Structure 1
Amino acid sequence: MTLYVGLGNPGPAYEKTRHNIGFRVIDRLVAETGARNISKKAFEGELYRQGNLFFLKPLTYMNLSGRSIKAVMNFFKISLEDLVVVHDDIDLPLGTIRYKVGGSSGGHNGLKSIDEYVGKEYLRMRMGVGKPTRKSEVVSYVLAPFTPEEEAEVERLVDYAAEVALKIPSLSLDELKSRYSLKGGVDGGT
């Protein structure tokens, strides 16, 4: 079994924001796999299933994402090594994708919550969304929508991330890093 989690905030106001790129990848995966909605109130999120693949969008808001993830993992007996979290990363340029297991949350409140509720040793698909010029602008930056110019790149990035995500169960971390990392965009090479 594999549980894919996209981080984001619920509601139309957040839909196209940088912080919600994880939700967008989950939406694409659900559409591509034909997964069916199996949400329950106890999961505190939208949960979809296709065979042994689970796709979750926690609806707890970013800062409590771990609570939703823990509920789903406990209910379906999903282990930490079968958890894949897709999230925005301001330390990577837009169009970049990196993978890692464990490590620091880097100040990301969604990751902090997951680390607190289930532990740190899960696979992270880090999707670059760029960085504001001043550190004081981080919150407003991640909660702002992508610019119209960036949106085409984001669509390509979401497509690519969804395609790679479905390969994850059959790849080692080294294979994933060497074959599917992106530097500066889908067309920018690996």
Structure 2
Amino acid sequence: MKYLIVGLGNIGAEYADTRHNIGFLVVDQLAKDAEASWETEHLGALSKIKHKGRTLILLKPSTYMNRSGKAVNYWLQKEKIPIENLLIILDDLNLEFGKQRLRGKGSDGGHNGLKDIDQAISNNYARLRIGIGNDFRKGQQVDFVLGEWSDEENADLPAIIKYAADTSKSFAAVGLAHTMNAFNKK
């Protein structure tokens, strides 16, 4: 059984350590834990790992955040993965820093990456939102989201990334409902 696990983010060194790229950090952690490498493919970087008898295809779209739907749709079709085996990992301003929320469907919540995916495939797919907080003044949202982590955030980031990676593996191994019950509580 195959799963497409997509970390949202922006390509390029200038975005590497920004809050908006937390999705990339989670799929990087999954690949690192499995000692898997990344290959540059059509519309993104891909890594394939095995977990409990399942194949997890990890994707970091190269389309930039606001055009993520094109890459997601392409790889769902190419790998013949049903939408119920898709997990999108993204940053969320509406959650406090470090908190995560897994849902089976929902609105884009103002997130441009999700808006584009919704337009490309629908909004009926699992998404793992990771809170980046909202400690910014009015009109400074873009600077905050595209800003680098503070020293305090950097100290907590490894545990947050690991927890999200474990959540992603659980999604593939035991399904959405069990994973929501186990991982949304903390």
CA distance in 1, matches of 2:165, 2:87: 12
Amino acid at match of 1:162: A
Counterpart contact for 1:91–1:130, Cα < 8 Å: yes
Q: Does 1:89 align with 2:89?
A: no
Structure 1 residue 38 displacement after superposition: 4.5
CA distance in 2, matches of 1:87, 1:125: 6
Amino acid at match of 1:85: I
Residue of structure 1 in register with 2:35 after alignment = 34
Counterpart contact for 1:38–1:49, Cα < 8 Å: no
CA distance in 1, matches of 2:90, 2:43: 18
CA distance in 2, matches of 1:38, 1:78: 19
Figure out how many residues of one structure are paired with residues of the other and give that number: 181
Q: Does 1:138 align with 2:137?
A: no
CA distance in 2, matches of 1:177, 1:127: 14
Residue of structure 1 in register with 2:117 after alignment = 114
Gap regions ≥5 residues in structure 1: 183-189
CA distance in 1, matches of 2:78, 2:89: 21
Amino acid at match of 1:19: H
Residue of structure 1 in register with 2:46 after alignment = 47
Amino acid at match of 2:56: L
CA distance in 2, matches of 1:164, 1:173: 10
Deviations 1:13-45 (A, max 9, x none): 1111110000000111111123343542xx310
**SS in structure 2 opposite 1:88?**
strand
Counterpart contact for 2:29–2:162, Cα < 8 Å: yes
CA distance in 1, matches of 2:123, 2:131: 20
> How well do the aligned residues superpose, as a CA RMSD in angstroms?
1.4
TM-score scaled to structure 1, two decimals?
Answer: 0.90
Deviations 1:43-78 (A, max 9, x none): 310011124210000011100011111111111111
Percent same amino acid among aligned pairs? 38
CA distance in 2, matches of 1:175, 1:70: 26
Structure 1 runs of 4+ with >6 Å offset = none
CA distance in 2, matches of 1:94, 1:127: 8
TM-score scaled to structure 2, two decimals?
Answer: 0.91
Q: Does 1:13 align with 2:14?
A: yes
CA distance in 2, matches of 1:87, 1:50: 20
CA distance in 1, matches of 2:79, 2:176: 24
